[in-house]
Chains A and B, each alone.
Chain A
Amino acid sequence: MARALVNVPAKAKRGEIVEIKALIQHDMETGFRVGTSGNIIPRDIITDFVCKYNGQEIFRAELFPAISANPFFAFSTIATESGTLTFEWSGDKGFSATESADITVE
């Protein structure tokens, strides 16, 4: 299981724009590099990232090999209600990881 780190403010005022940061440990092997044996190292990247706020999708990204190792995203959302943000990463070779964070809206 890859290590993931998400940053969501624990408390927010209703209607406030909150910044969300998500980082995950992954090599993001491009598939263009040549290994010591002279063979191309097969591509192994995260291809999709989805963030949901109480089950509703608020951010989605399609990733390509040009994304750095340990993909990092910072984006924003409006704090509408208390609940949970879930983060899902999926990729090559059946890679899948999830993480969640709670937010309290006053």
Chain B
Amino acid sequence: MWSPISRPCATDLARGAAGAHDRCEKRAGKRVVGEGELRQGKVKLDLPPLVENGNVVSLTVSVDSPMTDTDYVKAIHIFNERNPQPNVIGAYLGPRAGRASLSTRIRLADTQNVIAIAELSDGSFWSESVNVIVTLAACVENL
């Protein structure tokens, strides 16, 4: 179990501090991954490359896994870089899912990378990151 990433991390991002993105991605990853290794691949993150309205961005994550009792996806985590808070969702599934896939709708406050991390039953972590261009931001707009 992990907790939301601390505010200073998000503030670093807002200020555009050098290396903040890398650090934040690492820290976000670290909450989930711990001391393990985060590898690229297996995860497919489907997002439109250009988004007109950041308030509703449909997203699909699918993981290449047989979803058997011994080899399945335990969890799918989604993070972003430039929203006020880096967490988006943590979803927990199991072998009964049959297919390791999840669709939802998210908010994006700015043009940024979205990162999906999948935790497999063998304890390995896989990720994919997608860059999204947002023309109308969400989350912090005034009324």
Contact = CB atoms under 8 A, between A and B. Distances in A.
Interface of A: 17, 30, 32-36, 41, 53, 56, 58-69, 71-78, 80
Interface stretch (B17-25, B34-42, B98-106, B128-136): B98-106
Contacts of B140: 30, 32-33
Which of under 10, 10 to 19, 20 to 34, or 35 or more describes the interface residues of B? 20 to 34
A30 B106 CA distance: 12
A72 B85 contact: no
Interface in B86-109: 87-94, 96-99, 101-108
Nearest to B58: A72
A37 to B, nearest CB: 10
Contact of A65 (B57, B85, B96): B85
A64 B101 CA distance: 19
A59 B91 contact: yes
Given A33-B142, A65-B85, A75 B93 contact: yes
